[in-house]
Amino acid sequence: MKGLPCSEPPYLQTYLNYWNEEHNNDYPEKNFSVYALNSIGKTVCLTRFIRPLEPPQMNLNDFDTSQEQCVRYVSLIPFIECNKLYDHIWLTTEEMLNLTIGTVIDHSIALTCFFLALNMETWLLLGYGIPHGPTAYVLVREHDSNDVPIHYIYDVSTAIKYNVTDRLCPLQKVFCVINGINIWANIQTVEDMALLQFDFTRKSEWHCLFNNQPNSIRIYDDEGFRRRAACICVRSDAETEVLLVTSSRKPEKWIVPGGGVEPEEEPSVTATREVLEEAGVIGKLGRSLGVFENREHKHRTEVYVMTVTEELDEWEDSRAIGRKRQWFTIDDALEQLALHKPVQRHYLQQLKRSKLT
Per-residue pLDDT of 245-257, as tens digits, reads 999 878 889 999 9
Q: Please, what is the average pLDDT of the chain?
A: 89
User: Parallel, antiparallel, or unpaired: how do β-strands 35-37 and 149-155 relate?
Assistant: unpaired
pTM greater than the 0.75 cutoff: no
User: Parallel, antiparallel, or unpaired: how do β-strands 121-129 and 133-143 relate?
Assistant: antiparallel
User: In this predicted structure, what is the pLDDT of residue 132?
Assistant: 87
What percent of the chain is modeled with pLDDT above 90? 62
User: In this predicted structure, what is the pLDDT of residue 99?
Assistant: 93
Which of the two residues, 309 and 11, has the higher pLDDT score? Answer: 309
pLDDT at 87 over 60: yes
Beta-carbon contacts of residue 203 (< 8 Å; ≥ 6 apart): 248, 320, 321
Other CB atoms closer than 10 Å to residue 316's CB: what's the count?
A: 14
Beta-carbon contacts of residue 262 (< 8 Å; ≥ 6 apart): 215, 216, 217, 219, 270
pLDDT bin (cut points 50, 70, 90) of residue 58 is low
Which of the two residues, 58 and 258, has the higher pLDDT score? Answer: 258
pLDDT at 202 over 80: yes
pLDDT bin (cut points 50, 70, 90) of residue 116 is very high
The verdict on whether 274 is a catalytic residue reads no
- Cα separation, 70 vs 35, in Å, equals 27
User: In this predicted structure, what is the pLDDT of residue 55?
Assistant: 87
pLDDT at 319 over 90: no
pLDDT in tens, 31-47: 999 999 998 989 999 99
Selected catalytic residue, list 262, 277, 293, 311: 277
pLDDT bin (cut points 50, 70, 90) of residue 340 is confident
pLDDT at 212 over 70: no
pLDDT bin (cut points 50, 70, 90) of residue 196 is very high
The end-to-end CA distance of the chain, in Å, is 48
pLDDT bin (cut points 50, 70, 90) of residue 351 is very high
